[in-house]
Structure 1
């Protein structure tokens, strides 16, 4: 007989990388509102992390913050050891940290390429490598990787970003096949979202105009992406495996 399912994360521990701003922050808040204990990862954002912790504590749940560069193997391994010792094993791992840079391909240096792939793709590999063993030992867990609609569509002047996010999708599908059914691995490929990365300050007007060409003609709020993450973290998604969910306003229609 099938048990009742809901969006509750009560009794579960979730880590969100890049949790202090944008989509990461919205996911951390949504998880706490659903009853989860939240582990905040950040890099050089101690003040923002403290502010977020105070907000989450007001919801009545435990929360911790750890600084680590998720593109650094040493940092990730150190953080994983601290998290497992302090917070216990994770029930949910969200690989959200990332960067976005607009640059013509012929002006893109090898250093640009390496930095983007390290931050947006290698970080996912490192985090999964660090936290999966404890999930395997418990025979349970959820991993959510944040990709992008541009990892499916591609776009001129965003080659490293598109390549990295396409890689996240491929890695998600591989891990989903290898670790199912005990561990659910899925991805979210958002369309344009109102964050510091998608703004007139960070992108050209041409790029912003391109984002607004989608059928809904608007940029999403981070909370709209967090809703998808909450679904994937919950028992409601337990038959989802290796999927790429697209809260994208219609930019991609599989």
Structure 2
């Protein structure tokens, strides 16, 4: 049997980047995957849903529909996030609030509804969230983003205690990864140098981050909860 044979999975942010790589890998490992994204999704063998994860009603409806379509939810992976680079003195409150709404409130809603579905079926489950190396390192002009990702790390620890032993809650904290969100190819040289200032001297690939999520979804992580796994080329070592 494949590693995730017949597992029912939701992946948010699945239209591109890390979310797309995770959804594709999980399907290749035998899972049935429902893909969520703000952008329309044209890939995958399973159902897909276009929604704004900050909209409570949309999340409730989409998770319920995915649960019905898949026949349950065993794993929820939330990669959906937005990014903001702005000096504090030039940052409009509305822009900072949008980052927190998507990255924190959106995560909270996805976890809440997925846990409800998991508990309804009584089979336990896995919640896999996405923090960032910048939650530990910090970076100038990135306060809202760093705060949102540090908040995810904190929520992981809270929910691991709240929903154990049946539901395991962990996170992946990637370093800079070759996705449309990073747009590495169009960065100026000094920013490229900053993003590759790690022991491996490069940025990551979405497929490399997806392997960490696969580990957290599989049997090898059965004694892990409340953890944040750094996949960052050694930029942050905890």
Distance 1:203 1:166 in 2: 25
Preserved contact between residue 102 and residue 203 of structure 1 (Cα < 8 Å): no
By how many angstroms is 1:200 displaced?
Answer: 4.3
Preserved contact between residue 18 and residue 24 of structure 1 (Cα < 8 Å): yes
Q: Alignment partner for residue 8 of structure 1, among 3, 22, 30?
A: 3
TM superposition score normalised by structure 2: 0.95
Partner of 2:162: 178
TM superposition score normalised by structure 1: 0.89
Is 1:116 aligned to 2:99, yes or no? yes
Partner of 1:33: 28
Preserved contact between residue 64 and residue 117 of structure 2 (Cα < 8 Å): no
Q: Over aligned residues, Cα RMSD in angstroms?
A: 1.6
Q: How does 1:44-83 map to 2 (within 5 A)?
A: 44=39, 46=40, 49-50=41-42, 52-53=43-44, 57=45, 63-83=46-66
Secondary structure in 1 aligned to 2:199?
Answer: coil
By how many angstroms is 1:201 displaced?
Answer: 6.8
Is 1:162 aligned to 2:146, yes or no? yes
Preserved contact between residue 39 and residue 65 of structure 1 (Cα < 8 Å): yes
Preserved contact between residue 54 and residue 106 of structure 2 (Cα < 8 Å): yes
Partner of 2:108: 125
Preserved contact between residue 27 and residue 223 of structure 1 (Cα < 8 Å): yes
Q: Aligned pair in 2 of structure 1 residues 72, 32: CA closer, same or farther (>3 Å)? A: same
Describe the superposition over 1:128-155 as per-residue Cα deviations: whole angstroms up to 9, x where unpaired. Answer: 1111112123140000001100011111
Q: Aligned pair in 2 of structure 1 residues 79, 133: CA closer, same or farther (>3 Å)? A: same
Q: Aligned pair in 2 of structure 1 residues 202, 79: CA closer, same or farther (>3 Å)? A: farther
Partner of 2:79: 96
Distance 2:96 2:204 in 1: 27
Q: Which runs of 5+ in 1 are unaligned?
A: 1-5, 58-62
Secondary structure in 2 aligned to 1:189?
Answer: strand
Q: Which runs of 5+ in 2 are unaligned?
A: none
Q: Alignment partner for residue 188 of structure 1, among 146, 161, 172?
A: 172
Partner of 1:153: 137
Distance 2:54 2:30 in 1: 29
Secondary structure in 2 aligned to 1:143?
Answer: strand
Distance 1:7 1:188 in 2: 22
Preserved contact between residue 11 and residue 35 of structure 2 (Cα < 8 Å): yes
By how many angstroms is 1:87 displaced?
Answer: 2.0
Q: Which runs of 4+ in 1 moved over 6 A?
A: none
